[in-house]
Structure 1
Amino acid sequence: MKYAKLDAKDYAREHMRGIWAAALNPFRADGALDEAGLTQNINHWIEGLEIKGLFICGKQGEFFSMSIEERKRNFEIAVEACDGRAGTIMSASDQNFDTVLELARHAEACGADYIVVHAPMLHFVTDPDDTVYNYYKAICDEVNIGIAMWSHPDSGYLMSPELCARIAELPNIVAIKYSVPREMYVRLTHMVGDKIHVSTASETEWLDNIIELDWKLYLCSSPPYQFQTAVDRRMHDYTQLAFAGRHDEARRVRDSLDPVRAAFRNTKPGGKPQAHGKYWQELLGQVGGPVRAPLLQLTDAEKAATRAAFEGCGLKL
């Protein structure tokens, strides 16, 4: 651990900054995790794109299709590949609470910087606040590592800003990935100040959130490595311009990515986000590979449409 439990908030405030990306996991044709491919991607993301941190083994990474041992190995590969050049936040999310703790302890032991745990799906519960607070408190009580909350619609409910602010008082809660309507995360930001990082996965809202809410952290999704190349780092560039207070220039750079956003969005089949994202990575020269069952692969026609849109979107390779 690079910090003591009671110093987790201060450490994250200083070190958990900039653009963090959620990693898609490359799998081989036989279904095994492509460890060399993941390491190759991580090296490109850090050295070529200057991504500051990586969200490992989340929904983008198909954690739901992986065994506990595979998830632990995924953590280890990321820590080894980052080698102090970028931060790591490991998804310890699971419906089984013992699994959450096992993964959290492994993340702490193998040298990860933080973990993220999404709000659990709850059964027979109509007023979740006390239960969800106790859920995060129980995790905090068991580990020392900094923890990010994560609220999204897949849980069947959204954590209210008031609940998030209450949980933010726990000593090693350092951030939240808040996948909610903007008015909710704006309200939470004003409630917690700089006590924890508040962030959302929307790249299209990132610049406005830097300017209007003084956000310091993008946590996190795949656009940082899907909308950029080593010679065309416009997300990085508009972020740095915004951090420097050069807002009009930042907006011009941000808006220039609209054709890339449209090409990606308009070719993504609704039921195949991971497969589409991996194929887009391959078009960029990164390691993609197939998705694991029961997810669906792209058809040849879907690949052709994606390739045509990619070639016309204006990204420089």
Structure 2
Amino acid sequence: MNYAKHDAKAHARETMRGIWAAALNPFDADLNLDEAGLRRNIRHWIDDLKIQGLFVAGKQGEFWSMSLDERKRNMSIAVDECAGKAGTIMSISDQNLDTVLELGRHAQDCGADYVVVHAPMLSFMTDRDEALYQYYKHLCDRLDIGIAMWSHPDSGYLMEPETCARIAELPNIMAIKYSVPREMYVRLTEMVGDKILVSTSAEPDWLDNIEELGWQLYLCSSPPYQLQTANDLRMHEYTELAFAGKFAEARRVRDSLDPVRQAIHDSKPGGKPTAHGKYWQELLGQVGGRVRPPMLELTDAEKDAIRKAFEGCGLKL
């Protein structure tokens, strides 16, 4: 780490800017992590697509299907490929707290920039504020690296803005990936916008959030490498236009991607989001690979439908 624990908030505000993408992990025919394929994807994302940071070993990466050693290896590969070229934030999320801490220490030791921790499942609990505060405080007390919160319906609840604002006072809490309705993340931004970085994964809202909320960070999902090619950098383009205050022009570029967004939405089988994302990557010339159980593979008919949608979406290859 190249910052002190108490400087995590300032360091994040200085270094976390622009588009950060959540990496899908390619698995080979035998369901092993395809390390060469992952490295190739990372180089393409950084060098060709100008992605400024990667969210590694998260839900997009099927972390729940990976062993502890595989998750550590996943982090180390990303740090190696991103070094000096892009930032890294490692998901150390797990229901087992000892696993979270072990992964957090590995992230610190391997040179990651930050970590992100999903809100835990809290069975039978309705008043969650104190439990969540103590959970993140426990991590902050034991890790020096900057920690981002992460709230998503998969936990079975959403962290309230007031709870997030309380946790944001902890010294090395520096961001939140807040996958919630817009009114909730607007309220949180108004509460803590000068303390931590607030972001959400909804790409269509990214431009509005730059303009209306002063956001500087897209953290993050797969659109940055599914909506773009080396010859078609419209997400990067509209982001840079927005940062320059050219919002009308940025909006025209953003809206021009609607056919691509629609093609992805309309061709995605509801029960196979990860396999769809990986096949879309393959159509773009990236390394997709297989999914691990319990995720489901695509049928040939589903692949045909996705390919037809892709061919008509207007992306320039």
TM-score tier by shorter-chain length is: over 0.9
Aligned equivalents of 1:130 and 1:122: distance in 2?
A: 12
How high is the sequence identity, in percent, across the aligned residues? Answer: 76
Separation in 2 of the partners of 1:193 and 1:109?
A: 30
* Runs of at least 5 residues in structure 1 that lack an aligned partner in the other structure: none
What is the match of residue 13 of structure 1?
13
Aligned residues: 317
- 1:126, CA displacement in angstroms? 1.5
- Over residues 113-135 of structure 1, what are the superposed CA-to-partner deviations in whole Å (9 max), with x where a residue is unaligned? 00000100012211111001100
Instruction: Please list the CA deviations of residues 260-295 of structure 1 after superposition, one character each: whole Å capped at 9, or x if unmatched.
Output: 000001011111111000000000000000101121
Cα distance per residue 1:49-101 (max 9 Å; x no partner):
00000000100000000000000000000000112200000000000000000
Residues 1:241 and 2:237 are matched in the alignment: no
Equivalent residue number for residue 272 of structure 1 = 272
Structure 1 stretch 238-247 or stretch 189-198: which is displaced more?
Answer: 189-198
Query: Could you tell me how far apart the structure 1 residues matched to 2:84 and 2:45 are?
Result: 14
Q: By how many angstroms is 1:193 displaced?
A: 2.0
CA distance in 1, matches of 2:311, 2:137: 48
Where does residue 183 of structure 1 map in the other structure?
A: 183
Looking at structure 2, the residues matched to 282 and 194 of structure 1 have their Cα atoms a distance apart, in angstroms, of 40
State the partner residue of 1:301: 301
- What is the alpha-carbon distance in structure 2 between the residues aligned to residue 19 and residue 196 of structure 1? 17
- Deviations, residues 186-226 of structure 1 (Å, cap 9, x unaligned): 00000012210000000010000000000000000000000
- Note if 1:42 corresponds to 2:37: no
What value does the CA root-mean-square deviation take over the aligned residues?
Answer: 0.5
- 1:195 counterpart letter in structure 2: K
* Residue in structure 1 matched with residue 168 of structure 2 by the alignment: 168
- Structure 2 residue runs without a partner (length 5+): none
- 1:274 and 1:164 mapped to 2: Cα distance? 29
Alignment check: 8 A CA contact 1:259 1:313 kept? yes
Distance in 1, Cα, partners of 2:269 & 2:209: 28
Provide the C-alpha distance between the structure 2 equivalents of 1:43 and 1:245, rounded to a whole number of angstroms.
Answer: 30
Question: Which whole-Å deviations, capped at 9, do the CAs of 1:2-54 have from their partners, x for residues lacking one?
Answer: 10000000100000111000000000100100000000000000000000000
Residues 207-218 of structure 1 mapped to structure 2, 5 A cutoff: 207-218=207-218
Distance 2:36 2:26 in 1: 9
State the TM-score, normalized to the length of structure 2.
Answer: 0.99
Q: Which residue of 1 aligns with 2:85?
A: 85
TM-score by length of 1: 0.99
